[in-house]
Chains A and B, each alone.
Chain A
Amino acid sequence: MAILEVRSLAVSFKGFRAIDGVDMDVERGELRVIIGPNGAGKSTLMDLITAKTRPTSGSVIFDGADITGLDISAISSRHGIGRKFQGPNIFGGMTVLENVELALKGHGTLIKALFYRRTRRTLELIAGALERVGLYEKRDLPAGILSHGEKQWLEISMLLAQSPKLMILDEPTTGMTAEETYKTGELIMGLSGEHTIIAAEHDMDFVRQVASTVTVLHQGKVLAEGSIADVERDPRVVAVYLRDDGLESGEGGRA
């Protein structure tokens, strides 16, 4: 059974249908990539799944529970959905280690936050999350001085510290060099299976690398869904997306 079921989800902003009747099933342990031109609604779909935005209609069922329009903090703490926003979103004034520490699962209530102590166990968990993304050596640096790519990895590491069932990654490779993008692809493939992952991406090299199921969004609707090979051959997809953005050559989709 699917771990995430999105049912006829829709939202309009002042009459503009940013998401317009989306149905989507994601299996447990799957790595799903969402592609689509700028403004297709990828980020908005993620906002709806994580309760940042209330849908106008439709529902989101996660692991058997209806999570439509819950409180954001409950999405993470109670249902185990972690989210990485588009672009780096770290706390630059703190060290790399402190960022992951802040994200550590199960310490977000007031009392626990007041009396949290760094123990060997918490340090092990933090170290594990940092090693996974290759930032352990840089743990004592202020997070603000990391490179753009490293900041994105730090964010993934913060998600890992939450040990989420579902990880939602909005454009995890933006601003990365080709080499960093490749490394991120490896990392994310390594994480799938253990975690269910939904990633929005523009970089077609990345999408081919992770070679998973792809959902193509266009004007708030699901245009196509299937393997990367099928999707790339789909004439409708080629018409609205691949051709005019020059993505077939893998140049990235920034308009």
Chain B
Amino acid sequence: MEGLLAAARRVRVNRYIDICLLLFLAVFPTFSSKFRIDVMAGFMAYVIFALSLDLLWGYTGLMSFGHAVMFGMGAYVGGLTNVFQKGVPDFMANYGITEIPPFFAPLTSPALGNVLAVILPGLLALIIGIFIFSSRVSGVFFCLITMALASAFATFTNSTQQYLGGSNGINRITRFALGDGPVDVTQNYYIILAALVLAYLFCLWLVNTRFGKALTSIAGNEDRLRFLGYRTRDFKLLVFVLSGMLAGFAGLLSVRTTGFVSPVNCGLELSTMAVVWVAVGGRGNLTGAAVGTLLINWAESILSEHIASQWQLTIGVILLLFVLFMRDGLVGAALGAQDRRRQKKLREAL
């Protein structure tokens, strides 16, 4: 029993938060309205998106202001795949298109289309990554390039009326199908929850490998790591690709939950919001990404009914407060307090 207690005390606090969060999410549908269940499912897809940003920014120190592009690509590819199952969508038909264009042919297969919703964002990340990381640009430059990417992607989707629905985007996307038809709200909720658990476990595995430790060290002191014989460029490239794929996966889940995707879902705004979620929850521990995403999104959904016009301002103030007074975010602060207590004990024991 004492051994068990000692072991429990050695666990880092965020693992307890993880378990509480999981239990809460597992029982959430039992006491919530259909509407709330559906909203929460959408937020859980956002959590996966935030996890992907945490790998990139929290662990590796690469702050992206364009990560919503990866999310949006997954959403668009997943959305198109879904609407193509019912033939040529209206936004195409309005332009006199009577057959699905040949370059969209792979998306007529649901399986291939859904896989591509994950693969293509990874491919985009690979191409951009090769360009960015081989020229050894600085962190600020990475921010700027990803930011430019976000506006380019929004402009592209906005202006591609006949293929991507322009500013209206793609609507009437149905939920995942199980058996003979789309699942209901609660079933969809649990599909997303299962996907979230898998994504979380994958991230947890990844950051605990030697690869993950190398990522953390890149954020800390990249040159030091290069002198230890690591080709850090390859490491950054792989994490960028994995993070892009995970963001695409989140986009796919999101679009099949909310039923629509438009340029607003994948521009600078969502990219910035994801940075805020991770900053508020705390970066570099996964738990923070989840906590921050759920807190901010629920706050937005509840408060914006009352203070809709001031919501942007509120978010700005929140971000400022965290940057000034709680740099490590909520979970980061809890972890920091625990670490300090432990180190004090260790010092006393020496």
A contact set with B: CB distance below 8 Å? 50, 52, 71-73, 75-77, 82-83, 85, 89, 91-94, 98, 101-103, 105, 107-110, 112-116, 141-142, 145, 158, 162
Contact = CB atoms under 8 A, between A and B. Distances in A.
A113 B238 CA distance: 12
Is chain B's binding surface mostly helix, strand, loop or mixed? helix
B210 A116 contact: yes
B297 interface: no
Given A113-B210, A114-B210, 17 more contacts: A52-B227, A71-B231, A73-B226, A73-B229, A73-B232, A76-B228, A77-B229, A82-B227, A85-B227, A94-B216, A108-B228, A110-B231, A112-B210, A113-B209, A113-B211, A113-B214, A162-B229
Interface centre among B217, B227, B232 (most CB of A within 10 A): B227
Q: Which are the 9 A-B pairs with shortest beta-carbon distances? A: A77-B229, A76-B229, A116-B210, A113-B211, A72-B226, A108-B229, A108-B230, A113-B210, A73-B231
B220 A52 contact: no
Contacts of B210: 101-102, 107, 112-114, 116
B30 interface: no
B224 interface: yes
B135 interface: no
Given A85-B224, A91-B220, A91-B221, A110 B211 contact: yes
A110 B217 contact: no
- Interface majority SS on A: helix, strand, loop or mixed? mixed
Interface in B310-350: 339, 343, 346-347
Contact of B216 (A89, A91, A162): A91
B223 A91 contact: no
B217 A91 contact: yes
Interface string B202-221: 00000001110110110011
Given A72-B227, A76-B227, A102 B232 contact: no
B234 interface: yes
Contacts of A114: 209-211
B235 interface: yes
A74 B245 CA distance: 30
B202 to A, nearest CB: 12
B334 to A, nearest CB: 16
Interface string B225-268: 11111111011001000000000000000000000000000000
A141 to B, nearest CB: 6
Residue in B221, B228, B229 whose Cβ sees the most chain A Cβ within 10 Å:
B229
Contacts of B211: 110, 113-114, 116
Contacts of A101: 210, 213
Give the interface residue-count category, chain B: 20 to 34
A205 B62 CA distance: 44
A116 B227 contact: no
Contact of B209 (A50, A94, A116): A116
Interface of B: 209-211, 213-214, 216-217, 220-221, 223-232, 234-235, 238, 339, 343, 346-347
A72 B235 contact: no
Contacts of A77: 229-230
Given A73-B232, A93-B220, A110 B227 contact: no
Given A110-B234, A142-B343, A102 B213 contact: yes
Contacts of A71: 231
B322 to A, nearest CB: 21
A109 B235 CA distance: 9
B216 A110 contact: no
10 contacts: A72-B226, A76-B226, A91-B216, A102-B213, A108-B230, A110-B231, A112-B210, A113-B209, A113-B214, A162-B229
A124 to B, nearest CB: 17
Contacts of A93: 216, 220
Contacts of B238: 110
A94 B210 CA distance: 12
B227 A102 contact: no
Nearest to B230: A108
A102 B343 CA distance: 22
B228 A158 contact: yes
Q: Which of B221, B231, B343 has the most CB of A within 10 A?
A: B231
A83 B211 CA distance: 22
A105 B216 contact: no
B232 A98 contact: no
Nearest to A142: B343
Contact of A52 (B214, B216, B223): B223
Nearest to B232: A73
Contacts of A109: 231, 234
A155 B221 CA distance: 14
Most-contacted residue by chain A among B210, B214, B228, B230 (CB, 10 A): B228
Contacts of A102: 210, 213-214, 217, 225, 228
B130 to A, nearest CB: 14
Contacts of A141: 346
A249 B174 CA distance: 83
A112 B213 CA distance: 13
